Structure formats: C-alpha cells, structure tokens
Amino acid sequence: MRTLSYRVLGVIFVTILFSCNFRRSQIAELKLVPVFNGKEYQYVDRNGNIIINPQFSIATVFRDGLALVKTSNDNPKWGFISEDGKYVINAIYKRATVFSEGLAWVVSDDGPPTLINSKGAFQATLQNAESVRIFKEGLAAFSVIDTSGTVKWGFVDKSGQIKITPQFTEVSNFSDGRCAVQNSKLKWGYIDDQGKIVINYQFDQASDFQNENAAVCLDRKFGLINADGKYVINPQFTTLQNDGNLFLINQDGKFGWCDKAGKLVINPQFDQAFPFNSNDLAPVKMGKNYGYVDKSGKIAINPQFDLAFPFNGSIGLVQSGSKIGFIDNAGRFIINPQFEVQNNEDLLNYLFNGESYYNGIETDFFNITPIVTNINIVSPEGLTLSSKFSDIVTKLQISQNSFNQYSNSSQVIYNRKITNDASLSFYVIGNAYRDVPNGWYMRKEFNNNGVVQGYAYLITLTGKGSGKAKQVKDQIEKTFQGFKLDSVQSNGLTVNTFTKLKKVVKTYYRGDQIVIMISGQDSQIPGEIDQVTYYNNYGNDSSLARSRMYDTTPKAVDTTRH
C-alpha cells in the first residue's frame, strides 16, 4: 500500500507545502480523532477507545465544538455533530464547510451558498456567488464570474454584505489584518480589510502573514517579508514556511530549518521534513523511512515509519504499511497501526497547519441571469448588422486570421466562460475573404469592407445546466422587447423566429446547446449554416446542419497543380 502513502503525500504537498495560501492557525489538542475502520469513519480518543461509533462516509476534526460529517447511506448528505456523536445540525446538505468563527457555509440541492450559525439558523445567502470560503478575521472570500468570463474574488462580512468588491484573480485568507491577492498578470500583493493595496503586486507566490511576517516567492526562490513588504530574508530557498520561531526550508533538494534572519539552525539534510507546529519534535525522512528530530536537529525517534506527521500535543500519527496508529514522544505505540489511510485529508490538514480540507464550497444553484445578460441582440458583442469585417477586427481585438477563409461562418469567440456551468461562443456570418486573381490562380484576400450577414451565439451548458437548455432559451426570449413571434417560422418549442423592423432573431436549442442567430430581414444566409432553417426543412435531426454551421476547419485544397 505504499502507493497510497504517496497519494496522501501528494495531497499534502499540493495543498499545504507549496500553497501560496499557507497559513498556520492555532492547533488545539484533539480530544477525539476521526479514523477509518475500512468501511466507515468513527471517532476514537487518545487511547484508542471508540467514542463515536463507525457510521460516517467522511468525518472531520471537531472545530468550535462541532464536526462536519457525511452520512454513509444511499443518498449521503452533510451535517454537524457534537462530541457525544449526536446531530446538532441534521445531515440535509449537499455541500458544507467546517465551522470557523462560529459560522459555516452550506448548500442545499439546487441552492446557493447559505451561511448558518452553530445552531443551524440561516444568517445570509450569496445568490450569485460561484464559490465561497470560510471566515477568517471576520471576512469570507467569494467568487463570481464577470461578463468577460473571468473569475473574480472579493469578500463578504458576517452579515453577507459585500465588503470588498470582486476584483482579484485569486485570493488567500485574512491574517494579521492583511490578505494576499493576485491580479490579472498573476502577480501577488497584499490588501488590508478595506481592500486597499498595502504591498504592491510583485510576487509569484505569497503566503499569509503570521507574526508580522510572510513567506513570498520571486523567480522560483522563497524569502520572507515584513509588514511593510521589505525583505527580512532575501529570496534564496526552494521553499520556506513559517514554523513558529523557526522556518522550514528546502535548499538544493534537502530540508532543514533557519531562523528569522535566514541563518541555518538545522542544516538542510533531510529528504523530507514537516513542521514542529509548536511541538518539541518534527517528522523527517531519512532514506526510505520517517523518524523525528528535536529542535537541535538531533534524531529523537529513529526512522522506522513509512510516513509520519506532526505531533498533536503528546501523540503523533504515523503510518506503518497500509495502517495508521499513534505514538508517544518516545516513539512507543499508544495505538497500534490498525486504521486505514483513506479520505483523511481534513485530519492531515489540521495536523500540518490547523486548517481544513473542507474550507470552501461551490454553489449548486444554476444561475440563468449571467447567461441572459451575455446575450445582446441589439448590438451583439458591441457590433451591428452594418459593421464591416475591419470593424469586427478592431472591436473584438482579433486578427484577420480569426476568420475562416473557406466558409461564410467564422467562430471568433471560443467557449468564453459565463458561469461554471455555461460557456459562450460567438460566430460572424458572412464572407470575410474574397477571391482575387493571382496570375493563373485565385488567392484569398481579407475583405475589409465586406458587410456581415449576421451573428450567432452558441451557448453550451454543462454540470448543473445540463438538461436546462429550454429554460435558458425561454428566459433569453423574454428579453426580446418589441419583437414579434413569427408563427409560421416557429414551432413554439425548440425553434422560434422573431422579427422587428428589418431584424430577424432565430432561437434554437438541442440537447445542452442553444443558438441565438441575429440577421437582417434581407440577408440571404445560406441554408448550410442556418440550422434553424435546416431544422424546419428536415425535421428533428439537425446534427448535420449544426456540424456544418460550427465547422471552421479549412476544407482540403487541391495541390496537384503545384
């Protein structure tokens, strides 16, 4: 089962050691430990006695007196139990975070993130949030997707009111009154709790502040900055993370510890090492096995374990073979290895930095509003039916090569993200290129002054949007103010045609895709790219027309004469 150990280590490395969001919270001594018996999770005390019977498919560490658990029935749901194993908040939620600062986020089936207190009472709902994280220093990070399809992060307070407007590409959590944030150029800086930049964007990675210092990365090297953004330790290490009064570092592939001035306290000599976490011993790897060293770097417990984790008070969690158990600070087993290593990321996160694996959730609410607002039949993507191809190049900031030379349908926007469950593509209909004599042959020349024949939006639904194409199409059609439904060209279900003055708008859906086509009344749109026409003429199977309309692959060219 050594491969399972590597899987667990992979989770640790990705989510903890190399995370720019690294933050060590105060780690309390656990009274009850969630462990897996091979079938279900149970809770044992520090002597190995079963205190809460095995019954959960997932179980987390207790925080604020409550533990987040997931039932193990045929329709598993999340709820919260107290230390006597009884449900304080019934298991009725599809998703949930752990409690932090007396609050947790939950999501019901088809619902948005909702904030609850420790009694399960609703406090606030974030209807338009795509995802949300637990509270830190009174603020919780949440994300939305803007009109360009970009994910933006901001913060809400405990009443659910937006405190910092979504504007950042990525964020960490608040600590010591600051928060690491990333801009669109993928550089990190720091803001205060009002959203004001206090340390400029300049770092490739940035961790949370602790004790007025934060580890940052520049040009693949880590250093340490103070509250003013000035280097305390210049970038020089492969990794660097705060470990109380020391800093765990990696230098040239070996792990050790340095002090706040960057002076080595324990020479880099270990193949792997994990933090002391205010304990007297830290786990290290030497050769194939793990043991523990003290703060002078002396081996205190000989390397003998397949995997070892930071101590929690007087006990340490270790793995031997495929099982985990608990040892004392002399290396003697308090609980022999008997529990499975499975889905225990929450416990591991807690042992490493006091945090949780379940610190954020995504919405389950399928939000149609952002999709509807992305469709503009009056001025599609800021264009009009009198726009020339040169205008489109300028407006959309694309090149002439974006247009298809061999078809009068060109896809110029590819799968722009609207929400986590909807993307948008945009097509320009018309001949962007014209044939120009070139000796004995004809060559293609971009038709700058050519006028478009129409535009088409293609919306693709996934995830929570699957099966809801008609619902989306109906909502889009409600925005067609002043347009009249053409009953002859419509069937009222999958295909509808609307007219207003000299403009024609056709809507169509099939499966999880919706097409909105805008053209002039006098435009002669060829049938091969008008899947609405194809649908009306040839019945329900419009897959051929759809494939033709959106096939922008250049056709084969006869080169036998060259």
| Amino acid 534: pLDDT | 37
pLDDT digits (tens, 9 = 90+) for 155-165: 999 999 999 99
For residues 515-525, average pLDDT? 79
For residue 285, the cross-strand partners are: 272, 290
| Amino acid 116: pLDDT | 98
8 Å CB contact between 25 and 12: no
Those residues whose C-beta lies under 8 Å from the C-beta of residue 140, and which sit 6 or more positions away, are 105, 132, 133, 134, 155, 156, 158
pLDDT digits (tens, 9 = 90+) for 454-472: 999 999 999 999 999 999 9
| Amino acid 149: pLDDT | 84
8 Å CB contact between 454 and 430: yes
| Amino acid 208: pLDDT | 96
Angle, CA 510 vertex, CA 513 and CA 555 arms, to 5°:
75
pLDDT band, very low/low/confident/very high, at 124 (cuts 50, 70, 90) = very high
The pairing of beta strand 162-168 with beta strand 151-156: antiparallel
For residues 287 and 218, give the distance between their C-alpha atoms in angstroms, rounded to a whole number: 31
- Does position 93 have pLDDT exceeding 60, yes or no? yes
- Does position 492 have pLDDT exceeding 90, yes or no? no
| Amino acid 322: pLDDT | 87
- For 296, what's the count of Cα atoms within 13 Å in the CB-facing half-sphere? 3
Q: What angle in degrees, to the nearest 10, is found between the helix axes of 345-353 and 2-12?
A: 50
pLDDT digits (tens, 9 = 90+) for 386-396: 999 999 999 99
Name which of 535, 458, 442 is nearest 495 in CA terms.
Answer: 535
pLDDT band, very low/low/confident/very high, at 25 (cuts 50, 70, 90) = low
Highest mean pLDDT among 424-433, 434-443, 540-549: 424-433
For residues 405 and 358, give the distance between their C-alpha atoms in angstroms, rounded to a whole number: 50
- For 77, what's the count of Cα atoms within 13 Å in the CB-facing half-sphere? 14
Name which of 191, 187, 176 is nearest 217 in CA terms.
Answer: 187
pLDDT band, very low/low/confident/very high, at 7 (cuts 50, 70, 90) = very low
Name which of 227, 282, 274 is nearest 250 in CA terms.
Answer: 274
- Does position 551 have pLDDT exceeding 70, yes or no? no
- Does position 5 have pLDDT exceeding 80, yes or no? no
pLDDT digits (tens, 9 = 90+) for 305-346: 999 999 999 999 999 998 999 999 999 999 999 998 777 889
Q: What percent of the chain has pLDDT over 70?
A: 88
Which pair of tokens denotes residue 75? 């329709």
Helix (H) or strand (E) holding 534: helix 531-538
Q: What's 127-192 look like in SS3?
A: CCCCEEEEEECCEEEEEEECCCCCEEEEEECCCCCEEEEEEECEECCCECCEEEEECCCCCEEEEC
Query: 3-class SS at 241?
Result: strand
For residues 187 and 219, give the distance between their C-alpha atoms in angstroms, rounded to a whole number: 11
| Amino acid 560: pLDDT | 29
- For 388, what's the count of Cα atoms within 13 Å in the CB-facing half-sphere? 7
- End-to-end, the C-alpha distance of the chain in Å comes to 62
| Amino acid 457: pLDDT | 96
Largest CA distance in the chain: 91
Which pair of tokens denotes residue 358? 């379940």
- Does position 170 have pLDDT exceeding 80, yes or no? yes
- Say which range, 184-198, 437-451, 539-553, has the weakest mean pLDDT: 539-553
Average model confidence (pLDDT) across the chain: 88
For residues 432 and 450, give the distance between their C-alpha atoms in angstroms, rounded to a whole number: 7
| Amino acid 39: pLDDT | 92
Domains assigned to the chain: 2-362 (2.130.10), 369-549 (no CATH)
